[in-house]
Amino acid sequence: MHTVSIKQRVRESFDKAAVTYDGAAVVQRRVCDRLLQELAEPEPFPARVLDAGCGTGYGSGQLRKRWAAAHITGIDFAPSMLALARKETDCCQAADIEKLPFAEACFDLWWSSLSIQWCNAATVFSEAVRVLRPGGQIAFSTLCPDTFAELRAAFAGVDQHRHTLPFDEPDAINAALAGAGLRDIRLIRERHTIYYPELKSLLRSIKAIGAQNVGEGGRSGMMGRAAWQKVEAAYERFRTPAGLPASYDVLLGYARK
Ligand SMILES: C[S@@+](CC[C@H](N)C(=O)[O-])C[C@H]1O[C@@H](n2cnc3c(N)ncnc32)[C@H](O)[C@@H]1O
């Protein structure tokens, strides 16, 4: 019951953010491009592709550029995101990555960029395996525990709330992939940093993407002025000539059924 309500909140945040998403999704674009760059050319070409958690469809559009003849299906649980993804996909459907509404073995490539960090990795990968044909590929990006380390450090000692998702370690992702029966697993961990002039714009941009939900233990009310000033001052310690950094600890993953 509790899990369902967290998922609903995550979905509502993304649903509200659809119109602002593309303007703020700088790292998300970069990661999507990297995921495609590192994807070894599948043999034969992937005729049936699933973009799981397609958002506004940027990844689907890039996949289409690489394989013009592929049939691309986008799924996302946020209807407003899907409305924008429609133009980049051949068909799209509101659905949960953890419970796919597709038959066994109907995709050649299961793709997902920066969407599974809100999900249970073992459930996601076993669903991916179910809908992939034997020999089919999966390609995904997700976030590891050093993501937003500056934010966690700035809030440390100011309150007891959770300020980021409980990101999985690469070892846990590797175990979930192997546990789902996937082979030829290849993981690449890399850091992507984006800079903001001030903390307010950094937090505003996370909200514009819809990614502000951190699951259980997150703050529900407003923050007091004194506490906010403390956090701002603590974050200033990380300032560089480029601005205030927000680090993304990214994992690119590839495997075969
Ligand atoms: C950060 S966005 C990434 C969107 C897109 N893949 C991109 O690279 O721009 C995460 C997306 O995953 C979707 N999402 C998160 N959890 C999901 C779930 N359990 N089922 C379906 N979609 C989900 C959100 O609605 C959102 O559109």
Q: Report yes or no: 213 and 101 within 8 Å, Cβ to Cβ.
A: no
Q: Which pLDDT score is estimated for 1?
A: 46
Number of compact structural domains in the chain: 1
* CA distance linking residue 60 with residue 158, whole number of Å: 41
The vertex-28 CA angle with 184 and 246, nearest 5°, equals 110
Q: Which pLDDT score is estimated for 2?
A: 52
Residue (of 37, 34, 25, 91) closest to 60 by Cα position: 91
We report the CATH number of the domain holding residue 12 as 3.40.50.150
Within 8 A by CB and 6+ apart from 146, the residues are 191, 247, 249
* CA distance linking residue 194 with residue 245, whole number of Å: 6
Q: Which pLDDT score is estimated for 4?
A: 56
Q: Report yes or no: 171 and 225 within 8 Å, Cβ to Cβ.
A: no
Please give the residue range of the domain that contains residue 79.
Answer: 2-256
- Residues facing 181 on adjacent strands: none
* CA distance linking residue 76 with residue 52, whole number of Å: 7
pTM: 0.95
- Residues facing 249 on adjacent strands: 191
- Regarding the beta carbon of 78 and ligand 1, being less than 6 Å apart is answered yes
Locate tokens 């602002």: which residue?
20
Q: Which atom of ligand 1 is nearest to the CA of 81?
A: 27
Q: For residue 226, how far is its CA from the centre of ligand 1 (angstroms)?
A: 35
Neighbour-count burial for 111-127, b at 16+ CB within 10 Å, e otherwise: bbbbbbbbbebbbbbbb
Q: For residue 209, how far is its CA from the centre of ligand 1 (angstroms)?
A: 10
Pocket test for ligand 1, best of 76, 84, 252 (most atoms within 8 A of CB): 76
At 145, the amino acid letter reads: P
Q: Whose CA is nearest to atom 15 of ligand 1?
A: 115
pLDDT in tens, the chain (257 residues): 455 588 898 899 999 999 999 999 999 999 999 999 999 988 899 999 999 999 999 999 999 999 999 999 999 999 999 999 999 999 999 999 999 999 999 999 999 999 999 999 999 999 999 999 999 999 999 999 999 999 999 988 787 777 778 899 999 999 999 999 999 999 999 999 999 999 999 999 999 998 877 766 676 667 788 888 999 999 999 999 999 999 999 999 999 99
- Regarding the beta carbon of 88 and ligand 1, being less than 6 Å apart is answered no
Please give the sequence-ordered ranges of beta strands (E in DSSP) within the chain, or none if there are none.
Answer: 48-52, 71-76, 91-94, 107-113, 132-143, 183-196, 244-256
Residue (of 100, 101, 97, 69) closest to 81 by Cα position: 97
Within 8 A by CB and 6+ apart from 65, the residues are none
Q: Which pLDDT score is estimated for 221?
A: 66
- Regarding the beta carbon of 81 and ligand 1, being less than 6 Å apart is answered yes
* CA distance linking residue 114 with residue 173, whole number of Å: 14
